[in-house]
Structures are given as structure tokens and as C-alpha cells.
Copies of this chain bind each other. A is one copy, B any other.
Amino acid sequence: MTLLPHRRALRPRALVAASALALLAGCASAPNATLRGTGDLGVVVERASGSVAVVDTSAHQVLERVEGLGDLSHASVKFARDGRYAFIFGRDGGLSRVDLLRGEITHRVMQSGNSIGGAISQDGTRVAVANYEPGGVRIFDSQTLEPVADLPATYRDANGETQRSKVVGLVDAPGNRFVYSLFDAGEIRVVDMSGDPQVTRFSGIGQQPYDALIDPSGRYYIAGLFGEDGLALLDLWHPENGVSRILPDYGRGEERLPVYKMPHLEGWTMAGRQAFFPAVGRHEVLVADTADWTLSDRIAVHGQPIFVMSRPDQRQIWVNFAHPNNDVVQVIDTQRREVIATLSPGDAVLHMEFSPRGEQVWVSARDSDRITVYDTHTFEEIARLESESPSGIFFTHRAHRIGL
């Protein structure tokens, strides 16, 4: 599940000044750098070694390995709008800016004691990080990692005491906004960064939101609830309507098997009017009609699904699974709504990433120390890359998508 226990009892380390790493701002050519486009680059998180591999999706090669990124368990990555810089959000509160062309860290700050992902603003100027400890959101300049705003997730508990909540499900939204959820407070908050930060709060959205997604248009923000069934939906085009509950039976009420890992909501797929998403604790992918959010189908799969991801043309859904069924990936045909392929990319399959137009997919198998690249039309293996305990895979075209 996304909500990991605190792994460290570190005191929140105040913002450590941006380290004085190479600040060469990428103008003239220089040794050590490769003149090339950045549209076919990506990074693979190698969590055991605290490094990322910079990969070339045309040549199917690892180009560089960038080390010194700290604790990368559950790390995620966003990209600057130029496709050159990657922002790596570490579990330990480290935020690093990596130059993919030089293969080096340009800036790094320890911005909290425990964090869980981040986002980049629509205009590319701001990077936000969701923190567990101290609970809140911190926002930085994307060029310098200088702090811009600090938004503590304070709320009053049942006794009227002021507390800080863990923050989860942080995403960008159109209008230079960030949206996030407060696990302990049961709130969704929206911050508008067009000028001075303006925070809007939505309270009482449900018990323990643990993760969230935003749809590809940036309109619908949906938070999963750990403490009760159903999902919380905020229509960002109509914030005046507040937060509503959808799919009321979704969640632990579905449970028939022990839940090994809460599925990732980022992995939801909206394909036309259909949403495909992982059941909680059951060996099923669920299908809902996005017009009224009713459940329309259940597709039997190999294990408890974690990521349920659409090929960009929406004709296929690729699914990976929780332990102990995590050595398999399955492919669902979205029209027939049935499994059409079962592949074995290795042990502990953690993530998948499609090339932007969908002709290939990269799959990480942590315990086999490898990435396998498949042709999504033939399911043939195109390439295999060595990587140390690979987890998340992120390609630079994400820079150009809302919510990614």
C-alpha cells in the first residue's frame, strides 16, 4: 500500500540549503555532456542503491547512472517542461534535480523527514512535495530548488487540538494548482499558485484518504479511502459542489483475501467512458462507467492488481500484481474485457511505463534486477536491460501531460 509506516524517526531536518553542485545552466556545449534530444529519455529508479538509471527508449540502453539520491523506496519522478531535468522525490524527504544530459545532480535539498511524492506546476516553475513528517506540502522553485511556500497540513482533531496530518495524493491541476489529501484529517486541499498561495479546504471527505489520482484532463480528483469504503470525488470545474462519494462499495468491503498492498490509484485507466481499476484484495480488475460511476464489469486476473495501465491507444490494459503473484504481467483487451496475454518479466514486477505512442512497454522486475521491453502488438521481448532493483520507470513525455 502507499501509506508506508514511518521507517525513520528522524527529526524533521530543516531545509538544507541547495548543495552547490554544478550550476552550469546548460548553454554552451561542454565536456561530459551529450548533444541530443530529450524526448526519448527516461529514468528508472533503483531503490536499493539510491540511484537512477537514465535510459534511451530509442536505443534501449542505459546511458548513465546517477547516484547519491538517498532512500528511493517508493520514490517518484517528475520532469521539467524542457525534458532535460528530472525531479526525484525520495522517501527520506530528499528532493533532487537531475540533469539527464550530464548525468548528474544539479541541486538537492533535504526538505522534510519523510515524504511521499510530488508534482510540478502547469507552467513548470514550481515543484511541490507531499510530506508525512512534518505533515504538509512544501513548494520550491524548479530552477533553483529555493523554497517558495510552506503549507503545513494543520487541522483540529476531535479534541480541538491542533495537529498536523500526513499529506498524500499530491497532483498538479490546470490553473497552476496543486491538489492533495490529508490522511489524518480526512480533507482535500487545493492550492492555487497563480499568485500568493491560496488554499481551499474540503473537509469531511471520508476516513483516511491514502492516495489519489487526477484524470488526464485535470478535471476530476479522486481520493481512495483507507478507513472506509468508496472514493471521494472533487470536480475541479465545480468546486462549489464540494466533494461527493462514488463507487460506495469500493475498498475494503470488497475484501475476501488478505490485502497485501493497497493498489495504486495513479494506475487507474480512463478509456473513453470506461474506467478500469484495481479491486482491493481481490483477483479482479473492475470496470466502471464514468458517466454515473456505476460498476459495470469485473475481469478475473492472476492476482491482486496494483497498477492497471492503459496503452496510449486505449485498446489494451496492462496489469501487475501484489505479492505473492508478482512475477506476472497480464494484458486485457478493452473491448473483449478479457485477458489476452500473460507474460513473465521476472520476479517482483513493480512498475510499467509505455512509450508515449504505445508501441513498447518497459517493465521493471526488482528481484531479477532487470527491465524488459516488450512490443505491445506482438508481446515479443524487444530488449532486456540490467538494472539494480528497479522500481518506478518514468519517461520524459510525462512533462507534457496534466497530472503526470
Contact = CB atoms under 8 A, between A and B. Distances in A.
B313 A38 contact: no
A101 B397 contact: no
Contacts of A28: 34-35
A26 interface: yes
A217 B313 CA distance: 4
A78 to B, nearest CB: 12
Interface string A78-98: 011111110000000000000
Contacts of A38: 37-39, 82-83
A122 interface: yes
Contacts of A397: 397, 400
B39 A400 contact: yes
A380 to B, nearest CB: 12
Interface string A141-185: 000000000000000000000000000000000111000000000
Given A35-B33, A313-B402, A122 B82 contact: no
Interface residues of A, number: 56
A218 B356 CA distance: 13
Contacts of A26: 35-37
Given A81-B58, A397-B400, A402-B312, A358 B122 contact: yes
Contacts of A218: 313
Contact of A356 (B57, B58, B400): B400
A57 to B, nearest CB: 8
Contact of A401 (B80, B82, B315, B356): B356
Interface in A68-120: 79-85, 100-101
A40, A100, A314, A360: residue with the most chain B Cβ atoms closer than 10 Å = A40
A174 B30 contact: no
Interface in A347-404: 355-360, 377, 396-397, 399-402
Contact of A82 (B33, B36, B217): B36
Contacts of A399: 39, 356
B101 A82 contact: no
Nearest to A124: B58
Nearest to A376: B174
A21 interface: no
A122 B29 contact: no
Given A29-B29, A357-B122, A39 B84 contact: yes
A263 B38 CA distance: 34
A261 B301 CA distance: 53
A219 interface: yes
Interface in A20-64: 26-31, 33-40, 57-58
A83 B37 contact: yes
Contacts of A27: 34-36
Given A356-B400, A357-B401, A101 B174 contact: no
Contacts of A123: 357, 359-360
A340 to B, nearest CB: 14
Contacts of A198: none
B81 A39 contact: yes
A378 to B, nearest CB: 9
Contacts of A356: 81, 399-401
Nearest to A100: B37
Contacts of A313: 174, 217-219, 402
Given A39-B39, A39-B79, A237-B335, 9 more contacts: A28-B35, A38-B82, A38-B83, A39-B81, A40-B124, A123-B357, A217-B313, A237-B315, A400-B400
Query: 5 closest pairs, A vs B, by CB?
Result: A39-B83, A37-B84, A37-B82, A356-B400, A29-B29
10 contacts: A27-B35, A29-B35, A37-B82, A37-B100, A38-B38, A39-B81, A81-B355, A81-B356, A123-B360, A219-B315
